[in-house]
Chain A
Amino acid sequence: MVTQAAPEEERSRRHLLDVAGLDWRSLQKLLASAGEMQQLLDAPAGGSDALRGVGVTTLFYEPSTRTRISFEAAAAALGARVTTFSVATSSVGKGESLIDTVRTLEALRNHVIVLRHERAGAPWLAARHFGGSIVNAGDGWHAHPTQALLDLSVLSRHLGDRNGSLAGRRIAIVGDLLHSRVVRSNLHTLTTAGATVVLTGPASLTTGFAEHAASFRDTPGSVQLVATIDEALSGADAVMALRIQRERLTPGELDSLEAYRAAWGLTESRLAALAPHALVLHPGPMNEGVEIDPDVADGPRSLVLEQVRAGIPMRMAVLQQVVSEARA
């Protein structure tokens, strides 16, 4: 791996475009910061004014509930001025380009843009044309950094050692890998934290992932692709079901939702094979009865709501970090 030039690293730190390239120390720092943010949230004041005067806009080109609300709650808890940019009713509908949009937002005194976009790499384009900070809230199939960070915070809390490391832990991720920005980002954070990640899913939705898995050579943890869910669950400390992204599927990629559940769904009977301590995650939104059964999602092993809750402090930590890097 070629190391990036130092000036570039400095430039890139004022953004959170990706978790690829973040080392374990950077991850630990964010985990610790999110812990402090949780204490702020739990305190009577319920937040701080660390970002007073900072303009934060959520610019979402794709629908979202939890990510957007979570970012807006995080920004508000730090005292930022929060604007929701509605793509549907804005000039974007009149054909305004992404570059023009971020330049306009900069002129309107926004310091942070939280960007969700259906195309991989859109935050990189925005970052090259925005004087403030870009936080990637999901770009196409590519990356979902804050989801991976909050997943790490949850897993680290339950399965981590004293330092939060996941060394020796096996995390299974099941489902539609091809279209999943969640899995792509989680592979970076989990392997950097030392975990062994075991991937599985239907062949049509794991295209390219054998090579992809093997490319995690230089990380503390490793990645394997296996053919069946039983192999993936065997010995797993946690299992994450990925959403079947019906909007991204092309014909032939999936036979039927029933067949998918039968082969790949997280059902009570499958979970019976797991170790007693093993946990269940899902990045949401869930197709209950497809990739995960309602009983499992609401069951004692489920961390689904904890994942949602972990979003706010982690996004506070991210916003705080990018703003302080931009100020520095």
Chain B
Amino acid sequence: MTDLLTANFADHWVLDPVAGLAGVADVSVVAGQIVSVTWRDGEVAARACWAAGANPGPDDPTVALLPALIDLHAHFRQPGADASEDVESGTRAAAHGGYGTVALMPNTEPAADNVETLQRAIAGERHSVRLLPIAAATVGRAGTQVSDVAALVKAGAVAISDDGSPIADRVVFRAALLAAAAAGIPLIEHCEDPTLTASGEAADGLVASRLGLRPWPAAGELRAVESAIAVLRDIVVTAPTARLHLTHLSTAAALEVVRGAQGEGLPLTCDVTPHHIALTDGWIAGDRRWAWEVPVDDEFLVPTTAAFDSNLRVCPPLRTMIDAFACREALRNGTALAIGTDHAPHSREKKEVEFGLAANGIAGIETCLSVALAAHHAGELSLATIVAALTTGPALLLGITTTSVTPGAVASFVQVDLAASWRPSRATLLGRSINTPLLERELPGVVQRTVLEGHLAYQR
């Protein structure tokens, strides 16, 4: 571990999502602690700047300081698939991506449905990244018997989930929701109706039809979301501590239903992924435009030589520019409280195969901030929205506090050059697996340093 940091960060674009401040500031760090944050134009102006979206003007500094990011959804594959990722490589990648805290999904081998596996899942060199284990909601993630939630929470679990699969049996789902409520943690549900999505390769729609890919219907997500909400509504009266979080939502229809249920006051939250806000199913045909660059009815339908890239196989599948718009709108209007990376590293053996035979998932923890910044630069998302979705939003779900850029706090922040760009590649990515469709693409936002718990965890 490096020594405690002492440094001055003069003239940075600083964001403090906890206090709701943004603007040009000098940040002084002594022995790993933030001793002062001096706002150039004063706190009142900083508050107004945050409220206006925290976007820097053309004459403002382009190097920003944000609180170390928090991911509510990642897979580090330990134990069971260390060839794809483990805690050491995963946290190295996380620090590179600007993350200081990562919640790990329990679909390891074996599943983290017991205290011993839960602890193994976070053991190892962590590069100062804080790891929060999520426990399997059901034994073996088999969806038939609820895990010993109380014991798992005592051992550090911050949530339960059968992520990778839904808890399809709604009686078991109800029991898991009640067990989580009793333990004071949320249930994180992967919303998919497997009777509709079995063998699906790509989102149902024009691209899948043109490419001859087996369809994964939007109804597969919508039905699961509707029934999960119906169960929540049933139990919330008698179990007021119940909390349901729907992860990696991808369809306009499902997000609309979630928004309606939130309007009823149900304890319901959700997140979206970087790939669902920024990519479309046209990428499978070889399109490389960001989702917001695609006009309506201008899908990319004639496959290029880059078509059928297995790095685009993901569950839920990539969808149209309309769904991607809905995912960004959910961040803007607060329906989604977080961007969760769903960082899903896979070895070459599992990915360099036929599209329909490839494992689902995109390694995204190192590119998430850049993808969000690409949306920001296009005027799609304000910096305040992005930073909240990557810090205070997930913190709220996980029941932790965001260590912000504020005097007295331990230095846990990321220094990112908003104007610079980089290209993900075998050489620049630090994770063990590089299954991302963004390889060799120029991305905005270069993380220069990630400071965690007062130590330098990553330096470019």
Residue numbers of A with Cβ under 8 A of B are 1-2, 4, 8, 11-12, 15, 17-18, 20-21, 97-99, 117, 119-122, 124-125, 127-128, 139-143, 181, 184, 207-209, 211-212, 215
In contact, A140 and B212 (Cβ under 8 angstroms): yes
**Contact of A120 with B206 at beta-carbon distance under 8 Å, contacts A17-B303, A98-B353, A98-B354 already known:** no
A120 to B202 alpha-carbon distance, docked (Å): 11
User: Contact check: which of A1, A124, A140, A209 meets B307 at CB < 8 Å?
Assistant: A124
Q: What's the count of A-B pairs with C-beta under 8 Å?
A: 102
**Contact of A125 with B209 at beta-carbon distance under 8 Å, contacts A4-B304, A8-B305 already known:** no
Residues on A with C-beta less than 8 A from B354 are 98, 117, 119, 121-122, 125
A181 to B286 alpha-carbon distance, docked (Å): 19
Residues on B with C-beta less than 8 A from A1 are 298, 300-302
- B310 lies within 8 A of chain A by Cβ: yes
A17 to B304 alpha-carbon distance, docked (Å): 10
User: Contact check: which of A99, A119, A209 meets B352 at CB < 8 Å?
Assistant: A99
Ordered by A's residue number, 9 sampled pairs between the chains whose C-beta atoms are within 8 Å are: A4-B302, A4-B304, A97-B352, A121-B213, A121-B308, A142-B213, A207-B215, A208-B208, A211-B205
User: Contact check: which of A12, A119, A184, A207 meets B210 at CB < 8 Å?
Assistant: A184
In contact, B355 and A20 (Cβ under 8 angstroms): no
Residue of B nearest to A97 (CB): B353
A122 to B298 alpha-carbon distance, docked (Å): 25
Interface of B is mostly: loop
Residues on A with C-beta less than 8 A from B204 are 207-208
In contact, B353 and A20 (Cβ under 8 angstroms): no
User: Contact check: which of A15, A98, A122, A208 meets B205 at CB < 8 Å?
Assistant: A208
Please name 10 further chain A to chain B contacts, defined as beta carbons within 8 Å, in addition to the given A2-B300, A4-B286, sorted by A numbering.
Answer: A1-B301, A2-B289, A8-B305, A20-B302, A97-B349, A99-B353, A184-B210, A208-B204, A208-B205, A212-B206
Q: How many residues of B contact A (CB 8 A)?
A: 34
A4 → chain B closest CB, angstroms? 5
A20 → chain B closest CB, angstroms? 5
**Contact of A143 with B304 at beta-carbon distance under 8 Å, contacts A97-B352, A119-B355 already known:** no
A290 to B205 alpha-carbon distance, docked (Å): 29
Residue of A nearest to B300 (CB): A2
A122 to B308 alpha-carbon distance, docked (Å): 8
Residue of A nearest to B353 (CB): A97
Q: Please list the 6 inter-chain residue pairs (A to B) with the smallest Cβ-Cβ separation, ordered nearest first.
A: A121-B308, A142-B212, A141-B212, A208-B209, A119-B354, A120-B212
A296 → chain B closest CB, angstroms? 28
**Contact of A120 with B310 at beta-carbon distance under 8 Å, contacts A2-B300, A142-B212, A208-B215 already known:** no
Residues on B with C-beta less than 8 A from A142 are 211-213
User: Contact check: which of B209, B212, B304, B310 meets A211 at CB < 8 Å?
Assistant: B209
Residues on A with C-beta less than 8 A from B305 are 8, 11-12, 15, 17, 124, 127-128
Residues on A with C-beta less than 8 A from B289 are 2
Residues on A with C-beta less than 8 A from B215 are 207-208
Query: B259-301: which residues lie under 8 A (CB-CB) from chain A?
Result: 286-287, 289, 298-301
In contact, A120 and B352 (Cβ under 8 angstroms): no
A179 to B297 alpha-carbon distance, docked (Å): 24
A207 to B219 alpha-carbon distance, docked (Å): 14
In contact, B308 and A124 (Cβ under 8 angstroms): yes
A266 to B201 alpha-carbon distance, docked (Å): 33
- B357 lies within 8 A of chain A by Cβ: yes
A208 to B212 alpha-carbon distance, docked (Å): 11
Residues on A with C-beta less than 8 A from B302 are 1, 4, 18, 20-21
Query: B302-323: which residues lie under 8 A (CB-CB) from chain A?
Result: 302-308, 310
Task: Write out, one digit per residue, whether chain B residues 140-162 have a CB within 8 A of any chain A CB (1) or not (0).
Answer: 00000000000000000000000
A175 to B444 alpha-carbon distance, docked (Å): 49
Residues on B with C-beta less than 8 A from A12 are 304-305
Query: B177-208: which residues lie under 8 A (CB-CB) from chain A?
Result: 201, 204-206, 208
Residues on B with C-beta less than 8 A from A141 are 212-214
Residues on B with C-beta less than 8 A from A184 are 210, 212
A307 → chain B closest CB, angstroms? 21
- B356 lies within 8 A of chain A by Cβ: yes
In contact, B301 and A120 (Cβ under 8 angstroms): no
User: Contact check: which of A97, A120, A208 meets B356 at CB < 8 Å?
Assistant: A120
A156 to B212 alpha-carbon distance, docked (Å): 26
In contact, A120 and B211 (Cβ under 8 angstroms): yes
User: Contact check: which of A117, A125, A139, A208 meets B310 at CB < 8 Å?
Assistant: A125
A105 → chain B closest CB, angstroms? 16
In contact, B287 and A2 (Cβ under 8 angstroms): yes
A11 to B356 alpha-carbon distance, docked (Å): 24
Residues on A with C-beta less than 8 A from B299 are 215
A51 → chain B closest CB, angstroms? 24
Max chain A C-beta neighbours (<10 A), residue from B210, B287, B310, B353: B210
A20 to B210 alpha-carbon distance, docked (Å): 10
Residue of A nearest to B307 (CB): A124
A90 to B310 alpha-carbon distance, docked (Å): 25
In contact, B353 and A215 (Cβ under 8 angstroms): no
User: Contact check: which of A11, A15, A98, A120 meets B213 at CB < 8 Å?
Assistant: A120
A249 → chain B closest CB, angstroms? 13
Residues on B with C-beta less than 8 A from A21 are 302-303
In contact, A120 and B355 (Cβ under 8 angstroms): yes
Residues on B with C-beta less than 8 A from A120 are 201, 211-213, 308, 355-356
A226 to B25 alpha-carbon distance, docked (Å): 65
A2 to B298 alpha-carbon distance, docked (Å): 9
A40 to B208 alpha-carbon distance, docked (Å): 41
A19 to B222 alpha-carbon distance, docked (Å): 36
User: Contact check: which of A97, A124, A212 meets B303 at CB < 8 Å?
Assistant: A124
User: Contact check: which of B287, B300, B307, B349 meets A121 at CB < 8 Å?
Assistant: B307
Residue of A nearest to B352 (CB): A99
A140 to B213 alpha-carbon distance, docked (Å): 8
